[in-house]
Chain A
Amino acid sequence: MKTAAFRYGSRILLYAMVMVFVIVQVYPIFWVIASSLKTPEEVARNAPYSFPHSFYFENYINMLQNSRIPLYFLNSSLVAVFTLLLTILLGAPAAYAIEKLRFRGNTKVMAFFLLGIMIPIFVSLLPMFQIYNALGLRNTYLSLVLPQVGFSLPLCIYLYCGFMRYVPNSLMESAYLDGAGPFLVFRKIIFPMSRNTTITIITFNFIFIWNEFTFANTFMTSSRMKTLPLGLNDFVGLYGYTDWGATYAAIAVTIIPTLVLYFILNKSVIEGMAAGAVKG
């Protein structure tokens, strides 16, 4: 028979395990933020796992003065905004046509889009690189926006279709009887109804785009056009062995916006990323 003591003990064990995973998942981020607040003496003398004695913001000031991180911040934001706008602008109408206008061959078009989910982005690096070279498009926002839109469209269309399938056709039919065309129906009925899907797509794609490394590393070589992950890499390369505090501050600064957004919108971020993963 299971005694009360046994139950109590297993409860404690359970919560201990929960806490172990909490520590593992959080510690690296906690550590880098804590280290970014240490004075140079603390970093040099104290053990790396010790806590900072005070909030020393000098590291952040040094980091901002010695780098173009604010500029990279702007670049990353602009790329994200343009990519998200274009993805939604192209993806939502396409899903509407596939799911609701039901033209001949719509399932084939869908299957064709879904194929893209499995294609590794590496196959498009060199071709895009050459097209951009020929057209002088390297080091432009467009060079990062285009391929990211192309590779996020399949999932975006898939998610919109999944939602629109459950929008009753009778809604659209009564609008048609009132004389509305398909464009008006999309703009006034279907798209506003898909609001939650739109939010999900935007939030998790934002995280992917904000963190994207490969395309940016290939197409953005000018130091004025780099995105945050690249800028961070450069900064660590330059100061990683001399100014440790500023390096930690640079890492922290790139993490904090994502964390803030994530804590506000955690539900749609988690849902979106899980749905995004299931696609494959």
Chain B
Amino acid sequence: MAIRRIIEPWLFVLPALVVYIFTVIIPIFWSFTFSLYEWNGIGDMKFVGIDNYMRMFRDNVFLTAFKNNLIFTGLGTVVQIVIGMIMAILLLSIRWFQNLIKVVYFIPCVISSMAICQIFSKMLSVNPEGVVNALLGAVGLDSLKAAFLSDPDLTLIIVTLVDAYKFCAIYMVIYYAAFISISKDIIEASIIDGCNGWKQYRYIRFPLIRGIVFITVVMLVSGTLKGFDVSYILTNGGPGASSELVSTYMYKVTFNSVNYGYGSAMAVFMVVECLLVVSLLRKLIAQADTED
């Protein structure tokens, strides 16, 4: 009986645990092992120690991808928080059709990044002329017409904004839920005290949902550090390496150049980066919370 009570729970957990360990945990160690070798998948594996990691610091494409990824993360986080917040406040301020508007705002979140990227690629294209260029022409701004997706100065910004476009409504929903859950008493008391409109957000609502905003910062940073789809599909990291991200470069090194060792080193780098940044952010937030 006693043994049964010990074993029984594990029968429930074990199947999930096995699949999880097999697909998520073991690959981390597997990739780490590969990262210490030079290997193209067919010939002999040559042990090179930490050479693959040192190589990242000398590799200009990797450094560009890393720098791009920081911009993608920084700009993407700010844009999504600001737009998400604006949409949440708009939603909160209207009296009718709140739910309908929420559902409509959320549409880009349920569309695949493949479809979103194909649509934007068509809308931004030159030949056939896409909506953006056609509209610029129609309002007389012909000088602004451009092949947006082949301009290395613009691609990273476009990739960041398309990615933000796809996901910002998630943050709207989170902020909206947070605003809604503020107790009615607090709001009413503040109105009696003459705290209205913008002041109410400034002094009452924003401070009260600060914790949620911090959480979304962590979510956004960890999410954008792993960003892949939009860069890979919309611009394929190009032109040149102008919109390359760490993940897309890692993918190309691994599967196009068949450099398994170097690719694995970058994959391990991403795991360490994500775990480090997220735990660091959490610590900072916990500290900020205890200070007041």
Chain A residues near B (Cβ < 8 Å): 14-15, 17-18, 21-22, 25-26, 28-29, 31-32, 35, 43-44, 47-49, 86, 89-91, 93-94, 96-98, 101-104, 106, 109, 113, 116, 118-130, 146-147, 149-151, 153-154, 157, 182, 186, 207, 210-211, 213-214, 218, 228-230, 232-233, 236, 244, 247-248, 251, 254-255, 258-259, 262-263, 266, 269-270, 273-274, 277-278, 280
- Say whether A122 contacts B114, CB under 8 Å: no
The answer to whether A125 and B12 touch (CB under 8 A), given A28-B120, A278-B219, is no
> Bound state CA distance, A28 and B131, in angstroms?
10
The answer to whether A31 and B247 touch (CB under 8 A), given A122-B228, A127-B27, is no
Chain B residues near A (Cβ < 8 Å): 6, 8-10, 12-13, 15-17, 19-20, 22-28, 30-31, 34, 41, 86-87, 90, 93-94, 101-116, 118-120, 122-123, 128-131, 134-135, 138, 169-171, 173-174, 177, 215-216, 218-219, 222-223, 225-226, 228-229, 232-233, 247, 250-251, 254-255, 260, 263-264, 267-268, 270-271, 274-275, 278
Give, as a whole number of angstroms, the nearest-CB distance from A161 to chain B.
12
> Could you tell me the dominant secondary structure of chain A's interface residues?
helix
> Bound state CA distance, A49 and B134, in angstroms?
8
The answer to whether A270 and B173 touch (CB under 8 A), given A26-B104, A218-B255, is yes
The answer to whether A32 and B34 touch (CB under 8 A), given A266-B106, A269-B110, is no
Q: When the two chains form the complex, which single residue of B87, B177, B223, B233 contacts A213, counting CB atoms closer than 8 Å?
A: B233
The answer to whether A122 and B94 touch (CB under 8 A), given A150-B23, A254-B115, is no
Q: Which 8 A-B pairs have the closest CB atoms?
A: A150-B23, A211-B112, A97-B12, A124-B27, A103-B9, A229-B114, A94-B16, A127-B27
- Say whether B134 contacts A119, CB under 8 Å: no
> Bound state CA distance, A127 and B263, in angstroms?
11
Q: When the two chains form the complex, which single residue of B24, B218, B222, B275 contacts A151, counting CB atoms closer than 8 Å?
A: B24
For B112, the chain A residues whose CB sits under 8 A away are 210-211, 213, 228-229, 254-255, 258
- Say whether A273 contacts B13, CB under 8 Å: no
- Say whether B111 contacts A255, CB under 8 Å: yes
For B12, the chain A residues whose CB sits under 8 A away are 93-94, 96-97, 101, 182, 186
- The A/B interface has a contact count, at CB < 8 Å, of 252
- Say whether A128 contacts B226, CB under 8 Å: no
Q: When the two chains form the complex, which single residue of A21, A230, A251 contacts B87, counting CB atoms closer than 8 Å?
A: A21
Q: When the two chains form the complex, which single residue of B105, B131, B170 contacts A21, counting CB atoms closer than 8 Å?
A: B105
For A247, the chain B residues whose CB sits under 8 A away are 118, 122
Give, as a whole number of angstroms, the nearest-CB distance from B246 to chain A.
9
For A22, the chain B residues whose CB sits under 8 A away are 101, 104-105
Q: When the two chains form the complex, which single residue of B9, B111, B177 contacts A29, counting CB atoms closer than 8 Å?
A: B111
- Say whether B90 contacts A17, CB under 8 Å: yes
- Say whether B131 contacts A182, CB under 8 Å: no
